[in-house]
């Protein structure tokens, strides 16, 4: 047929139909594809984003580094597979060892393997990659050329550190301002060390600082240095303040009561080494990860029978200059710790295994209840928390009359959310005391100001890291005086076949329409690209727009294979006192490889040979070894293909679509 797409017919406008009405016969029978099934369709290899990556707020190429660990995708040159996996993993997220330990892993919830038997243990493999990188001393690479541009980063938590990392990779100068003594933000001050080992965290932070990142610690912008001074010194600013203040309970008796504290302040006092014991009876209101950390820490710290007024835990929490004497820890006893939550246990936002660990450690959990009043004693201190059973209606708790109960308490901790501390920066704050961001993570109305992380809206560490990456992309455009580019619908760090071809010395050749016996323009008879080196034949990349679902893959190909699980050092209720050893024990290398092999490689070929074996016409064939690279394992001889679509039906990963043929 001669009529191309969007042809303008005489007297007609553009049409989005391929042919006009009535044009249903081929001009030449020699051009007609052998149509035994009358489909006129042949295989097209279509790359899509896997749901693990689509569910990852950092946008990590999870499928990619799993393929490297399993041995399917090989590094080029002399690089080891361990380092290659590290490079692929950290393209999006510079903290594999930390994220492998503490990320709640939405990637695993999205994993299509859940439809077979159980998700792939992505977190455990990420931890293996991160720990191996530290053990082997892998460093980050810096851009070959410095741009001379300088960017101020306000806040040294996960968002700020990730921003510094991505900025240095682009050749921009990066300076971090942070009011604390050490970098890490909530990763250091909001999560206990038995979940984020400090030596591991420090190694991952140092690797970023070694890229040439400047730090100005114990420096609060808006207090120690003005925003105007920062604006004058730097070409752009990224606000990554995090949310360092906790929300109190919205009930009578909370405000001004000395032994009522926020979960954020409680954990910071512990993580700074100031608090060595807590109270006899601790009640924490929450249900998320922060509340689990609070109750787990309280069980480990315990209490002492006779507390001097100056040693009360709330004074340590509220006053950074007061610290317990570490010697008193020898006299501590177990604390009675209760966690209350609006949600039922299986609906809590905390990770399921963290909730189960807390129960093992002796925490009492009361779920489906809401606080209604702090009970005060004659001295003005809290003696208990009144709660009531509740039902959630349209997301709001509604109390059930007649179910009131008082839980005795010497310390009440609120872990129901966090807020921003914008003192001295009121001009940047919105009505929620956070910072506004547009779709480019730029601050509206303030050219040169960008923002990432919890100060936009409190969420996960991995969310903050992903936002920082996008913000840096746009800072790079801003510093280059270019317009912001439209972000892809599926905004992640995609596998790029062209990049892989370049890496393996298989880059497409130059298109030369005048070459003798070479490619020719369409109007001179060019029919396709199958015999041409200037294009990637038979391949389509839809990863920026499509996530591949389980109903698009051939699940029957995969056997039930139990997960290789990490060991955990979770103390019992009688062992928990003083137990500060790391909980998660990393996978050994052979288990990490075995777990990576459970990945179904959704949306990209993983070289199973099904299409080659089952093709009745021998039309599908392996490419020459000299032409092979990841994503280019098989090709199709269209002159043999009859459009039977068996190859697409037996493709386990959903990589083959039946498209138009010759």
Model pLDDT for residues 543-580, shown as the tens digit of each residue? 999 999 999 999 989 999 999 999 999 999 999 999 99
Domain endpoint, select from 435, 470, 489 = 489
Confidence band for 518, pLDDT divided at 50, 70 and 90: low
Domain interval for residue 89 = 67-244+420-489
Question: Both 395 and 432 in a single domain?
Answer: no
Lowest mean per-residue pLDDT among 175-189, 307-321, 628-642: 307-321
Confidence band for 164, pLDDT divided at 50, 70 and 90: very high
Residue 590, pLDDT above cutoff 70? yes
- Based on the structure, what is the number of domains in the chain? 3
| Residue 502 belongs to some domain of the structure | no
| Residue 581 belongs to some domain of the structure | no
pLDDT at 662: 44
Question: Both 274 and 215 in a single domain?
Answer: no
Question: Both 168 and 289 in a single domain?
Answer: no
The span from the CA of 584 to the CA of 602, in Å, is 28
Residue 284, pLDDT above cutoff 80? yes
Residue 198 near residue 206, CB atoms below 8 Å:
no
Confidence band for 15, pLDDT divided at 50, 70 and 90: very low
**Between residues 330 and 113, the one the model is more confident about:** 113
Lowest mean per-residue pLDDT among 325-339, 477-491, 610-624: 325-339
pLDDT at 227: 95
Neighbours of 77 (CB within 10 A): 6
Residue 408, pLDDT above cutoff 90? yes
| Residue 633 belongs to some domain of the structure | no
| Residue 536 belongs to some domain of the structure | no
Residue 240 near residue 295, CB atoms below 8 Å:
no
Output the domain CATH number for residue 226.
3.50.50.60
pLDDT at 36: 46
pLDDT at 323: 57
pLDDT at 433: 94
**pTM summary value:** 0.89
pLDDT at 238: 98
pLDDT tens profile 422-464: 999 999 999 999 999 999 999 999 999 999 999 999 999 999 9
pLDDT at 10: 40
Residue 515, pLDDT above cutoff 80? no
Confidence band for 9, pLDDT divided at 50, 70 and 90: very low
Q: What percent of the chain has pLDDT over 70?
A: 88
Question: Both 363 and 285 in a single domain?
Answer: yes
Lowest mean per-residue pLDDT among 103-107, 122-126, 236-240, 533-537: 533-537
Question: Both 452 and 398 in a single domain?
Answer: no
Matching residue, tokens 């914008």: 422
Mean pLDDT, all residues of the chain: 89
* Residue in 154, 162, 159, 155 with CA at minimum distance from that of residue 211: 162
| Residue 611 belongs to some domain of the structure | no
Question: Both 97 and 150 in a single domain?
Answer: yes
Residue 33, pLDDT above cutoff 70? no
Question: Both 321 and 447 in a single domain?
Answer: no
| Residue 332 belongs to some domain of the structure | yes
pLDDT tens profile 51-109: 999 999 999 999 999 999 999 999 988 999 999 999 999 999 999 999 999 999 999 99
Structure tokens at 63: 């499928």
* Residue in 366, 364, 367 with CA at minimum distance from that of residue 344: 367
The maximal CA–CA distance of the chain, rounded, in angstroms, is 99
Q: What percent of the chain has pLDDT over 90?
A: 76
Residue 344, C-beta contacts closer than 8 angstroms, at least 6 positions apart: 367, 368
Neighbours of 20 (CB within 10 A): 13
pLDDT at 16: 43
pLDDT at 562: 95
Residue 239 near residue 455, CB atoms below 8 Å:
yes
Confidence band for 491, pLDDT divided at 50, 70 and 90: very high
Domain endpoint, select from 443, 473, 489 = 489
Residue 264 near residue 181, CB atoms below 8 Å:
no
Domain endpoint, select from 470, 489, 508 = 489
Matching residue, tokens 């994220």: 99
Question: Both 228 and 372 in a single domain?
Answer: no
The span from the CA of 263 to the CA of 285, in Å, is 9
The span from the CA of 278 to the CA of 413, in Å, is 11
Residue 320: C-alpha distances to residues 265, 273, 385, 487 (Å): 10, 10, 26, 44
pLDDT at 332: 76
Question: Both 88 and 196 in a single domain?
Answer: yes
Question: Both 213 and 93 in a single domain?
Answer: yes
| Residue 576 belongs to some domain of the structure | no
pLDDT tens profile 101-155: 999 999 999 999 999 999 999 999 999 999 999 999 999 999 999 999 999 999 9
Residue 363, pLDDT above cutoff 60? yes
Question: Both 227 and 332 in a single domain?
Answer: no
The span from the CA of 618 to the CA of 611, in Å, is 9
Give DSSP secondary structure letters for 156-205.
-SHHHHHHHHHHHHTT-EEEEEESSSSS-THHHHSS-TTTS-HHHHHHHH
Question: Both 395 and 443 in a single domain?
Answer: no
Residue 481, pLDDT above cutoff 50? yes
Residue 39, C-beta contacts closer than 8 angstroms, at least 6 positions apart: 643, 644, 645, 658
| Residue 89 belongs to some domain of the structure | yes
Strand-pair partners of 322: none
Residue 11, pLDDT above cutoff 50? no
pLDDT at 4: 39
Average pLDDT estimate for 149-169: 98
Strand stretches in 584-632, DSSP E: 584-585, 620-622
The span from the CA of 22 to the CA of 378, in Å, is 92
pLDDT at 124: 98
């Amino acid at each position: 047929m001669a009529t191309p797409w969007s042809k303008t017919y005489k007297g007609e406008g553009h049409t989005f139909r391929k042919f006009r009405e009535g044009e249903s016969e081929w001009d030449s029978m020699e051009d007609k594809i052998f149509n035994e099934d009358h489909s006129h369709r042949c295989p097209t290899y279509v790359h899509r984003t896997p749901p693990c990556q689509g569910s990852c707020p950092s946008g990590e190429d999870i499928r990619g580094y799993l393929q490297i660990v399993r041995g399917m995708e090989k590094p080029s040159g002399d690089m080891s597979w361990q380092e290659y996996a590290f490079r692929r993993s950290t393209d999006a997220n510079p903290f594999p060892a930390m994220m492998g330990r503490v990320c709640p892993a939405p990637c695993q919830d999205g994993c299509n393997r859940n439809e077979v038997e159980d998700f792939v243990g992505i977190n455990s493999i990420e931890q293996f990659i991160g720990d191996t990188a530290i053990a082997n001393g892998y460093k980050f690479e810096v851009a070959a050329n410095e741009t001379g541009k300088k960017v101020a980063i306000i806040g040294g938590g996960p968002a700020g550190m990730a921003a510094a990392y991505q900025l240095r990779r682009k050749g921009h100068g990066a300076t971090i301002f942070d009011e604390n003594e050490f970098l890490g933000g909530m990763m250091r001050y909001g999560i206990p060390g038995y979940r984020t080992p400090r030596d591991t965290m420090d190694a991952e932070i140092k690797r970023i600082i070694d890229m040439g990142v400047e730090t100005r610690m114990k420096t609060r912008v808006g207090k120690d240095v003005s925003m105007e001074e920062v604006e004058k010194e730097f070409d752009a600013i990224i606000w990554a303040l995090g949310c360092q203040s906790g929300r109190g309970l919205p009930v009578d008796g909370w405000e001004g009561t000395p032994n009522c504290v926020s979960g954020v302040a409680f954990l910071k006092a512990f993580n700074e080494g100031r608090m060595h014991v807590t109270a006899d009876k601790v009640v924490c209101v929450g249900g998320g990860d922060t509340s689990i950390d609070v109750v787990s820490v309280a069980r480990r710290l315990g209490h002492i029978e006779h507390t001097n007024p100056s040693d009360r835990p709330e004074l340590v929490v509220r006053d950074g200059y007061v610290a317990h004497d570490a010697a008193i820890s020898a006299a501590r006893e177990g604390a009675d710790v209760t966690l209350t939550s609006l949600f039922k246990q299986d609906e809590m936002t905390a990770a399921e295994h963290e909730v189960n660990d807390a129960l093992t450690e002796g925490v009492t959990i009361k779920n489906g209840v809401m606080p209604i009043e702090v009970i005060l004693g004659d001295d003005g201190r809290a003696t208990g928390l009144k709660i009531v059973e509740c039902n959630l209606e349209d997301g709001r708790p509604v109390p059930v009359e007649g179910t009131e109960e008082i839980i005795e308490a010497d310390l009440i901790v609120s872990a129901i959310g966090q807020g921003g501390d914008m003192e001295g920066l009121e001009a940047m704050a919105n009505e929620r005391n956070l910072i506004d961001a547009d779709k480019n993570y730029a601050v509206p109305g303030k050219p040169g100001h960008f923002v990432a992380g919890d100060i936009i809206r409190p969420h996960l560490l991995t969310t903050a890291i992903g936002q920082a990456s996008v913000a840096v992309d746009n800072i790079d455009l801003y510093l280059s005086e270019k317009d912001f580019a439209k972000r892809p619908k599926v905004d992640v760090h995609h596998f790029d076949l062209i990049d892989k071809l370049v890496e393996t010395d298989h880059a497409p050749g130059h298109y030369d329409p005048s070459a003798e016996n070479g490619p020719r323009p369409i109007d001179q008879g060019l029919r396709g690209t199958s015999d041409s080196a200037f294009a990637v034949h038979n391949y389509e990349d839809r990863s920026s727009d499509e996530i591949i679902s389980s109903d698009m893959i051939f699940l029957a190909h995969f056997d039930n294979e139990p997960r290789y699980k990490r060991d955990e050092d979770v103390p019992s209720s009688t062992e928990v006192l003083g137990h500060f050893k790391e909980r998660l024990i990393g996978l050994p290398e052979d288990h990490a490889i075995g777990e990576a092999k459970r990945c179904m490689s959704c949306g990209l070929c993983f070289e199973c040979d099904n299409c080659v074996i089952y093709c009745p016409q021998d039309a599908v064939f392996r490419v020459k070894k000299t032409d092979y690279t990841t994503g280019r394992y098989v090709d199709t001889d269209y002159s043999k293909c009859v459009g039977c679509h068996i190859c697409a039906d037996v493709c386990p990963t959903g990589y083959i679509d039946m498209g138009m043929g010759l």
